[in-house]
Amino acid sequence: TTNASHDTSPIPIQSVYPMVGSQSNLLNNILQKIFVRRADRWVNLLILFSLGFLISWVSTYQKPIKALFYTLSAILIFIGAVTLVFCRWAWWLDLFYPVILASVLYASTTLSRMLSEMRKRELIESELKIASQIQKSFLPESMPQIQGLSVAVHFRPAKAVGGDLYAVIKFKDVDKIGVMVGDVSG
């Protein structure tokens, strides 16, 4: 072989490498029986289900940000392990499907949890609305009319439901009123 002949090609190690070197390396691998072997389908399925179970468990029982961190960590560790197994023992494990499965499982589990929390929040808000209506039903609708006295009230709870109550009562035979104010706290 000579430099600049048609028999040279770039490889990752050198910019110009004679094809005789590549061919001799290939022949050496054949003679030494160094072949890339693909893992059995059952091994790949076991890896797929194991990683899927791990990501599902983490996504279900951890807070979303923590689950994202653990999911990304598991994916990176998995990619590193697959690369190591390939480089060290020339064993080819599926990489694409487990990574996609882990990503989809994290996203779907997080979305499912978010929708469940939204439903719970809507239920609580509707119950608070009912409680607020019940509380307002305990309050008098109008104030008694007494000549020479003007009575007015304004009620606004700090949250959806407050614990405060009031009542203004006019006594029948006497020109007096009774005022009751209940302040739970604050």
- How far apart are alpha carbons 6 and 125 in whole angstroms? 77
Q: Which helix (H) or strand (E) holds 141?
A: none
Residue 85 burial (CB < 10 Å; 0-12/13-18/19+)? middle
Q: Going residue by residue through the chain (186 aa), what tens digit of pLDDT does each one get?
A: 455 555 666 676 777 777 777 778 888 888 988 888 899 999 999 999 999 999 999 999 999 899 999 999 999 999 999 999 998 888 899 999 999 999 999 999 999 999 999 999 999 999 988 888 888 888 888 887 777 788 888 888 777 777 788 888 888 877 788 888 887 765
pLDDT at 7: 62
pLDDT at 6: 59
pLDDT at 3: 57
Q: Of 179, 134, 129, 120, which is closest to residue 159 (Cα–Cα)?
A: 129
- How far apart are alpha carbons 92 and 101 in whole angstroms? 18
- How far apart are alpha carbons 181 and 85 in whole angstroms? 76
